[in-house]
């Protein structure tokens, strides 16, 4: 059967080509790493202390190399300069002075997710399991409270295969967190009891009050929450992932509006007047924004040029003027410590 011999030959060629392609690709991926690793490893520990002494930004570094996924810090006045790497690695991080909350994914056959509270030395002081993929993390301004949002498989029962979120708020120092979905949600004064309720993206006002997004039946609301009252009160519709400004007067958020599914416009809401200001960033932002100061909003955007897993932290004026600019390249999940 000469036909068979030919086919076996062609098959061997295909297998060889496939194996060679994989080997070449992996080798190039491995050797590409040390390039990024030099600046990364150079400044561990020693560089961190002077930076965190002043006003600084804590973020997840997405620069390729050893430092990928590590928490890093830069001074507020030199954000695009060299970064100092902490020993911690997080998918999502938020910090106040002396404390950080860190969501990590432990990859494996059964990937598990943990929330770690990091102390002043960036080492875990406590940790516990969270259900699902890390999405959002927030500390209250004094660090006493921690809020996390993770994606859990299929809590929204109506659509097969759909994913859903779980948001937990708890004391940072220890003690059981509460599932915010259990709070009473009121829209226009009426309680919403639908089981498809979802809450995500907490931002703290003080140690009792917070803002978050609640959703049910395809609608989303900005809700004001009270831990003591165990209530969520809807303030207005179509506000996702709120972030309260340092002066507590405005909220930066993702507005879906009439955009296609899965796209949002970064917008600022004045809480007193109810006026919404779309910001100059016209690309879709899927992030919980952070405030650099009372006039500037920060957010992460995936890099769309190299098709890689990298992202940058951008800054845009909070009043709708100006233009977005890259504040910290190769970064994600910023937290500003003033």
Binding mask 125-144 for other proteins (x = CB under 8 A): ----x-x-xxx---------
Of the listed pieces 173-181, 221-229, 257-265, 312-320, which binds other proteins according to CB under 8 A?
257-265
Q: What is the largest CA-CA distance in the chain?
A: 84
Our CB check for other proteins shows the closer of 155 and 281 to be 155
**Binding residues for other proteins, how many (CB under 8 A)?**
63
Our CB check for other proteins shows the closer of 247 and 258 to be 258
Residue 213: helix, strand or coil by DSSP? strand
DSSP 260: P
Q: Considering the complex, what minimum distance in angstroms separates the CB of residue 131 from other proteins?
A: 5
Our CB check for other proteins shows the closer of 23 and 53 to be 23
Question: Is 34 a binder of other proteins (CB under 8 A)?
Answer: no
Q: Which two tokens stand for residue 204?
A: 């703290």
Q: Which residues contact 204 (CB under 8 A, 6 or more apart)?
A: 138, 139, 140, 141, 145, 147, 210, 244
Question: Is 110 a binder of other proteins (CB under 8 A)?
Answer: yes
Our CB check for other proteins shows the closer of 51 and 330 to be 330
Binding mask 198-237 for other proteins (x = CB under 8 A): ----------------------------------------
DSSP per-residue codes, 103-156: EEEE-STT-EEEEEEE-TTSSEEEEEEESSEEEEEEE-TTS-EEEEEEEEET-S
Question: Is 262 a binder of other proteins (CB under 8 A)?
Answer: yes
Q: Is the CB of residue 157 less than 8 Å from the CB of residue 145? A: no
Question: Is 302 a binder of other proteins (CB under 8 A)?
Answer: yes
DSSP per-residue codes, 280-336: S--S---S--EEEETTEEEEEEE--SS-SS-EEEEEEETTS-S--EEEESSEEEEEE
Q: Which of 123, 159, 182, 184 binds other proteins (CB under 8 A)?
A: 159
Question: Is 259 a binder of other proteins (CB under 8 A)?
Answer: no
- Number of other CB atoms surrounding residue 127 within 10 Å: 13
Q: Which residues bind other proteins (CB under 8 A)?
A: 1, 4, 7-8, 10-11, 14-15, 17-19, 21-22, 25-26, 29-30, 68-69, 91, 105, 107-112, 129, 131, 133-135, 151, 153-165, 194-196, 261-263, 286-287, 300-302, 304, 307-309, 311, 332
């Amino acid at each position: 059967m000469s036909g068979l011999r030919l086919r076996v030959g062609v098959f061997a060629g295909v297998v060889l080509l496939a194996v060679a392609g994989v080997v070449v690709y992996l080798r190039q991926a491995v050797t590409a790493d040390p390039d990024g690793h030099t600046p990364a490893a150079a400044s561990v520990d020693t560089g961190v202390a002077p930076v965190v002494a002043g006003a600084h930004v804590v973020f997840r570094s997405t620069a390729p190399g050893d430092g990928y996924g590590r928490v890093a810090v830069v001074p507020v006045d030199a954000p695009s300069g060299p970064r100092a790497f902490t020993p911690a690695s997080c998918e999502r991080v938020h910090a106040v002075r002396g404390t950080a909350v860190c969501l990590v994914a432990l990859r494996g056959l059964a990937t598990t997710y943990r929330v770690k509270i990091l102390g002043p030395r960036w080492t875990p002081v406590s940790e516990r399991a969270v259900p699902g993929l890390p999405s959002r993390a927030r500390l209250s301004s004094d660090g006493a409270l921690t809020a996390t949002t993770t994606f859990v498989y299929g809590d929204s029962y109506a659509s097969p295969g759909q994913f859903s979120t779980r948001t937990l708020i708890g004391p940072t120092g220890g003690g059981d967190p509460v599932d915010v979905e259990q709070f009473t949600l009121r829209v226009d004064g009426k309680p919403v009891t639908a089981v498809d309720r979802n809450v995500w993206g907490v931002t703290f006002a003080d140690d009792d009050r917070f803002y978050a997004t609640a959703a049910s039946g395809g609608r989303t609301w900005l809700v004001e929450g009270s831990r003591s009252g165990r209530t969520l009160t809807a303030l207005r519709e179509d506000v996702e992932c709120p972030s309260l400004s340092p002066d507590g007067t405005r909220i930066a958020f993702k507005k879906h509006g009439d955009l296609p599914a899965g796209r949002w416009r970064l917008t600022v809401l004045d809480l007193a007047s109810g006026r919404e200001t779309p910001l100059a960033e016209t690309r879709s932002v899927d992030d919980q924004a952070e405030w650099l100061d009372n006039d500037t909003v920060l957010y992460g955007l995936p890099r769309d040029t190299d098709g890689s897993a990298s992202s940058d932290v951008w800054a845009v004026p909070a009043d709708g003027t100006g233009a977005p600019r890259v504040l910290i390249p190769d970064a994600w999940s910023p937290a500003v410590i003033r």
